[in-house]
């Protein structure tokens, strides 16, 4: 399913809202949460309906629902893993959107050929699919992750302290930060740039862990 970054944010927010509250948000609630106009939301929702991601009943309020067969590229990979076992590492990754943010790779294997599958491919015994996101912002600058870079992400729902994660926040926003579980049980999402404040939340949804960074000059 080919969604633009804004369509992806709206789709994920609607899906999260339905999962946590049992009903869909209104157009105004989507606009207020994502910081856009109601007209913008309406246009993207219409596109999502045309693409088969959403279903709408015009005779009901809060009528948006997720299409039965709607799935994002990384979720399709998940289903392939479940049905067929490990899948081969591709030379290209699905670009599923942009991520709000930010160790440079010092050396590669001493080989005449740079093999992406060796750098970013699943480790032995790992079956999790991979996907890519383009970084939008500078909050991970001091980790060597810059605006416009591409991060290669292993799809996971858990993370260890110090890992760089893609996290879905309770307000529907998605961010790239370093994950820390505090002693009081809260989660600290730490930027790598002193101009940005840490994000402290009671909970968040881990969508993946960064395994590499790619940059084109």
Q: Check 51, 63, 65, 177 and give the catalytic one.
A: 177
Q: Check 51, 63, 83, 139 and give the catalytic one.
A: 139
- SS3 for the chain is CCCCHHHHHHHHHHHHHHHHHCCCCCHHHHHHHHCCCHHHHHHHHHHHHHCCCEEECCCCCCCEEECCCCCCHHHHHHHHHHHHCCCCCCCCCCEEEEEECCCCCCCCCCCCCCCHHHHHCCCCCCCCCEEEEEEECCCCHHHCCCCCCEEEEECCCCCCCCCEEEEECCCCCEEEEEEEECCCCCEEEECCCCCCCCEEECCCEEEEEEEEEECCC
Note if 177 is an active site residue: yes
Catalytic residue numbers, as ranges: 139, 177
């Amino acid at each position: 399913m080919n969604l633009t970054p804004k369509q992806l944010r709206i789709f994920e927010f609607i899906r999260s809202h339905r999962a946590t509250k049992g009903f869909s948000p209104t157009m105004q609630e989507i606009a207020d949460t994502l910081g856009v106009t109601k007209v913008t939301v309406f246009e993207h929702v219409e596109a999502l309906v045309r693409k088969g991601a959403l279903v709408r009943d015009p005779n009901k309020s809060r009528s948006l629902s997720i299409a039965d067969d709607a799935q994002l590229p990384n979720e399709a990979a998940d289903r392939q893993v479940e049905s067929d076992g490990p899948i081969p590492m591709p030379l290209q990754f699905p670009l599923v959107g942009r991520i709000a943010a930010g160790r440079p790779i010092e050396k590669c294997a001493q080989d005449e050929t740079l093999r992406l599958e060796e750098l970013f491919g699943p480790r032995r015994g790992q079956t999790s699919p991979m996907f890519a996101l383009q970084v939008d912002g500078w909050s991970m600058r001091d980790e060597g992750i810059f605006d416009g870079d591409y991060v290669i992400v292993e799809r996971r729902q858990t993370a260890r302290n110090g890992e760089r994660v893609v996290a879905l926040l309770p307000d529907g926003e998605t961010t790239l930060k370093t994950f820390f579980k505090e002693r009081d049980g809260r989660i600290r999402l730490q930027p790598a740039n002193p101009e940005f404040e840490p994000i402290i939340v009671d909970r968040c949804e881990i969508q993946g862990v960064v395994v590499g960074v790619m940059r084109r000059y």
